[in-house]
Amino acid sequence: MDRENSELTFDQVAKKYPDFPRTILRKIDTALRGVVLTEKALERAKEEGALFSGISNKPALLFGALFRDGTWVLGLETYLQQLPCKAIRKGNPYILDVLDGKLWLLDGLPRPFAQDKNVNQSLDAHGLPTRLSARQVFPRAKGRGEPVEEIHFVPIPKYYCKKTSRGIPMSEVVNARFPSSLAITVLHCRFDQEKNLGDPAKAVTCKFCFYATPLFRRKEENYTPESLEDIYETVKEALKEEGRWTSIHLVGGSDPRGMHQNGAYPGNLPREIVKDTSNFISRDKPYEKEVEEDIKVLKTLQKYFGTEKIPVRAIASAFPREQLLRLKEAGLSAYNSHIEVWDEKLFAWICPGKAKYFGRQYWIDSILSAVEIFGRGNVSTQLVAGAELAEPYGFKTIEEALESNLECADFFARNGAYTTFCILWVGQGSVFYAEKQKLPPLEYYVKLAKGFNEIRKKYKLNVGFQDYRRWSNFLDTDLARIDHA
């Protein structure tokens, strides 16, 4: 199948794959096309406590929304916390509006909503023409679009309105993700430090990534006893909301700095030295800084839970065996390290930072070591599905891309690690955004989800921390809901 040729529409894909759940198909489509809220829908979000306006100098944030079956609605990212306000989408966005007192996702042209202030602003974020030019660009549309799915909002966590005892807003200490998870940003990705701004070809950030931009930088270089106390207090407060949380995830980018040649860790050295990554790159203890910070947070959480093993997954860089063992000792239950792109050449091109520190085989070896340490099914990796199709070096056909990704999933599953994939999101701040990369067709993701799910079943792997409600980005793990029994 050629990338440009004959992309099937939503209805055609639904007809071709009758065994693929409609809501998951819609989830893919909302990710590709985006969702725009009308003023009425925003008002409803406010009434239902799903809108958070507690962060000064930032617009109100929407916590998120679910389809009837509890599947997370993608495509709302431009309303969500900390994410870039602009993204490259495919075609017209869905409109979220209130009809007969219920929230509906409408599939139609945005023109009938040209007078809606919020729709208008959001169209701009989608790179689509706003009110002034909408009349010329969008053909006349009858009615306000077809209501395709009823959805409901997820309320903002109660702890978001609180502050720690030293006055830090708790929403900034621990970030609630998806309906049921708490995420702690352990460190900021260092790969952007080597970015040669203005020359995307020389950047070492992953090309699809906007997290490495200064927007996501953690204020402090290292956790201090005070900031760890903030975490302790915030988790304690969050868990007062009974029945809300089911897992904690340590997140952040990559920090390849290891131990300095004089034996000190970056946290104990002057800023000028710490800033220069090359001062710390050593194959003996790579990523030591990242491990150190993870351990500080894990020990804080161990203190809170009062148990040795704690319900925490780390989404982290590739660590050598000895560091993985230390994380396990600190209570970590599951480990996830993202390979992002499987094909060797494309990995080097799309993830130059990971390729530099310290190459594809190093990342693969780390994931396999982690299986020995954390156990089968407690280790996973992730692909950014669609990145491998980026131009000019990516796969030219969907079939090649599919084959490569399924080969990755099968390889890791054979070795006890599970591979998930997220839908490529081309957000402002990423190299791909600057390059105006395109999104793959809807059908590609259906084939991937089915293929990954079959592999998971074949090797009898659990979805664990990454199911539909704990880390709701994925599609294959959504499908696993009917295999749990």
Partner 1 sequence: MFKLPKEVVDLINDPESIKIVATADEKGNPHCAVKDFFTLLEDGNLAFAEEFEGSQTNVNLVRAIWFAKNVELTVRGKDGTTYQIKGKPYKYFYTGPLFEKFYLAAREKWGPDSELAGVWVITPEEVKNETYEVRKKEEDKKHPFFRHLDRSSVRRTKIQNSKSEISN
Q: Contact residues for ligand SF4 (CB under 6 A)?
A: 189, 191, 205-206, 209, 211-212, 253-254, 353
- Which DSSP helix (H) or strand (E) runs through 410? helix 398-414
Is 326 an interacting residue with respect to partner 1 (CB under 8 A)? no
Is 46 an interacting residue with respect to partner 1 (CB under 8 A)? no
Please tell me what DSSP assigns to residue 469: T
- Residues 124-183 contacting partner 1, CB under 8 A: 152, 154-155, 179-180
Antiparallel, parallel or unpaired: β 175-177 and 181-187: antiparallel
Antiparallel, parallel or unpaired: β 175-177 and 146-153: unpaired
What is the rounded CA–CA span in Å between residue 341 and residue 263? 34
Q: What does the radius of gyration of the chain's CA atoms come to, in whole angstroms?
A: 22
Antiparallel, parallel or unpaired: β 379-385 and 334-337: parallel
User: Which of 218, 299, 356, 481 lies at the binding interface for partner 1 (CB under 8 A)?
Assistant: 481
Q: Could you tell which of partner 1, ligand SF4, none binds residue 193, using a CB distance below 5 to 8 A set by kind?
A: none
Is 306 an interacting residue with respect to partner 1 (CB under 8 A)? no
Q: Could you tell which of ligand SF4, partner 1, none binds residue 212, using a CB distance below 5 to 8 A set by kind?
A: ligand SF4
Report the alpha-carbon angle 294-287-283, nearest 5: 150
User: Which of 195, 207, 289, 469 lies at the binding interface for partner 1 (CB under 8 A)?
Assistant: 469
Choose between 217 and 481: whose C-beta lies nearer to partner 1: 481
# residues near partner 1 by CB under 8 A: 22
Q: Could you tell which of ligand SF4, partner 1, none binds residue 209, using a CB distance below 5 to 8 A set by kind?
A: ligand SF4
Q: Could you tell which of ligand SF4, partner 1, none binds residue 4, using a CB distance below 5 to 8 A set by kind?
A: none
Partners of 418 in the beta sheet? Answer: 380
Choose between 245 and 363: whose C-beta lies nearer to ligand SF4: 363
| 173 three-state secondary structure | helix
Read off the amino acid at residue 61. L
Is 450 an interacting residue with respect to partner 1 (CB under 8 A)? no
E strand intervals along 108-234? 146-153, 175-177, 181-187
Binding mask of the shown chain, residues 2 to 41, with x at each position contacting partner 1 by CB under 8 A = -------------------xxx------------------
- Which DSSP helix (H) or strand (E) runs through 99? strand 94-99
- Residues 230-289 contacting partner 1, CB under 8 A: 242-244
**CA-CA distances (angstroms) from residue 426 to 78, 85, 422?**
12, 11, 12
Binding region for partner 1 (CB under 8 A): 21-23, 66, 68-70, 152, 154-155, 179-180, 242-244, 467, 469, 481-485
